[in-house]
Amino acid sequence: MTFWTKLVTAIERNDSLLCVGLDPQPDNIPARHAGIGAFVRAVIDATADLACAYKPNIAFFEAAGEEGLAALREALAHIPEGIPVILDAKRNDIGSTAAAYARAVFDVWGADAVTLNPYLGFDGVQPFLAYEDRGTFVLCKTSNPSAGELQDWAQAGKPLYQHVADLVATWAGEGEVGLVMGATYPTAMADIRRRWPRTWFLVPGVGAQGGELEAVLRAGLRADGMGVLINASRGIMYAEDPREAALALRAAINAGRRGLPHHPAAAPATAPADDDVAALARLLFAAGCVRFGDFVLHSGAHSPVYIDLRRLVTYPRALDEVARHYARLLEGLSFDRIAAIPYAALPIGTAVSLRTGIPLIYPRRETKSYGTRRQIEGEYNAGERVVLLDDLITSGGSKLETAEPLQAEGLTIEDVVVLIDREQGGAADLAAHGYRLHAAVTLRQIVDSLAAGGQLAPDDARRVRSYLDGL
């Protein structure tokens, strides 16, 4: 039986996604227990029918010296055979040392799985993967406050934690490798779940570290109601009654997983997470890029909502965040450079280029009658593939007009990216001409999010929705 099979069997038998962490700290052990070993065994006895796994953190046992190491061996022997053990050791080193660590974890301690640090790359992980019946969980986005100092570092718009998840998928091959995803960063968790809908997540950080259970379940659960192991250590071990604490948390997890109407894995890979939509809506509203009232449009018609993304130039942090959304849209597309449509999309295109390192060109609205008399600014070569970038889309007219001079120069266009889709037929217009539209968010999603967050009054929200329904 492999670790993953053993895990699923334990989950189904105990009706639980609760992983009980064993982090013994001598100063916090109740006086009624005669030492570390007795304390840990008592916690196991209290929770053995409620947990799907145990996660002893080897650091706490090592810190107690010989007594702690003896307690670890006793704990491993005391855990019921049908419940898998994840040794939280965060091992990794050069190949030969990693092989020694793997022997220690699996052959000496007899753990079913282990946590690993990916910093040394594949050769530091491969010795653990050689144990095909055991499991590994690689640190991806951890729950500690300064995790972002390294893990959020981005290249070409792709944060390091995302790169780690993609690498781990290649390391797994036909097998399975899990990820450690901190509960304090549900947006990152939802992002990785969309990219890798089947991967198992080991999730520390609920409770004591500030992670919210409901947000974790919404972000991390697979469509089958599994895929996450909710780890709890201090909240159970040092509770007045560990069994009652474990019962309560298991019940909360099960209520959450059964109460969710859908899971992120069931949504399209490009669908934004709810919290991402809400954050973007608040940002645009605060910058005055989305306004509500009575506005006269260029056509002479009246509208209760007005979008003006030109204002982003005054808010550099907002502009950078918008560029992040575009960078996500560009992932997976095949192209050589982006072409921003003047004028509103030019600063956005520049921000996207700076964030991602993707070359930018743009077609002029008016051809110069002097100098180079270029129609298209920037360097390009005939035969290259270009993605059109604009701020929003109503109909597809301006995009089709912009495409003409680019195609006349021998450039190929297949995709168009915008921040906001007003859902007024633009996608269909583009599709009729062979172009695919990719939008970060729809106008209706912005309206619904602002209404849910209280930025838009209920009566105003109804009026805007009625307007959108009539378009």
Instruction: Give the tens place of pLDDT for each residue, 174-185.
Output: 889 999 999 988
> Which of 265, 291, 325 lies at the terminal end of a domain, its last residue?
265
| Residue pLDDT, tens place only, 273-303 | 556 788 889 899 999 999 999 998 766 778 9
Same domain, 136 and 226: yes
Q: Output phi, psi for 232, to 5 deg.
A: -135, 125
The verdict on 223 and 283 lying in the same domain is no
Q: What is the pLDDT of residue 349?
A: 96
Q: Give the burial string for 165-193 (b: 16+ CB within 10 Å, else e).
A: bebbeebbeeebbbbbbbbbbbebbbbbb
Cα torsion angle, 19, 24, 30, 31, sign: positive
DSSP letter for 106, please.
Answer: I
The 3-state DSSP class for residue 296 equals strand
Q: Are 229 and 222 in contact (CB under 8 A)?
A: no
Residues 329 and 249 in one domain: no
243 with 372, same domain?
A: no
pTM: 0.61
Residue 441 dihedral angles phi and psi, to the nearest 5°: -160, 155
Query: How many helices (H) and strands (E) would you count in the chain?
Result: 19, 18
Same domain, 54 and 128: yes
| Pairwise CA distance, residues 364 & 343, whole Å | 9
Q: How confident is the model at residue 373, as a pLDDT?
A: 67
Last residue of a domain, one of 216, 232, 265: 265
Q: Are 269 and 190 in contact (CB under 8 A)?
A: no
Of 221, 246, 265, the residue at which a domain comes to its end is 265
CATH number at residue 124: 3.20.20.70
| Angle at CA of residue 334, ends 444 and 177, nearest 5° | 85
Residue 191: closest CA among 178, 176, 181: 181
- Nearest-Å Rg of the Cα atoms of the chain is 27
Q: Are residues 222 and 370 in the same domain?
A: no
**Structural domain total, the chain:** 2
pLDDT at 233: 93
Q: What phi and psi values does residue 362 have, to the nearest 5 degrees?
A: -155, 140
CB 348 within 8 A of CB 387: no
Query: Is residue 279 located within the same domain as residue 240?
Result: no
Among 217, 120, 226, smallest CA distance to 171 is for 120
Whether residues 151 and 292 share a domain: the answer is no
Shared-domain flag, residues 278 and 261: no
Tokens of 60: 């706490």
Going from the C-alpha of 398 to that of each of 61, 329, 414, 418, 438, the distances in angstroms are 65, 20, 15, 12, 16
Give me the CATH number covering residue 335. 3.40.50.2020
Q: Domain limits at 47? A: 3-265
Give the CA diameter of the chain: 90
Distance from C-alpha of 180 to C-alpha of 189, rounded to nearest angstrom: 10
248 and 332 belong to one structural domain? no
Contacts of residue 404, Cβ cutoff 8 Å, sequence gap at least 6: none
- Does one domain contain both 291 and 375? yes
Task: Name the residue among 285, 305, 287, 310 with its Cα closest to residue 295.
Answer: 305
Would you state the structure tokens that stand for residue 357, as one six-digit string?
A: 């390192």
The answer to whether residues 303 and 158 belong to one domain is no
- Identify whether 6 is a catalytic site residue: no
pLDDT of residue 210: 65
**31-37 contacts at long range (C-beta below 8 A, 24 or more positions apart):** 35/67, 35/71, 36/61, 36/64, 36/67, 36/68, 36/71, 37/67, 37/70, 37/71, 37/74, 37/75
Of 67, 118, 109, 69, the closest CA to residue 91 belongs to: 118
Q: Which of 55, 90, 368, 399 is catalytic?
A: 90
Q: Which two tokens stand for residue 100?
A: 């020694």
pLDDT under 50: residue ranges of the chain: 262-272
Task: At 83, list the tokens.
Answer: 């419940």
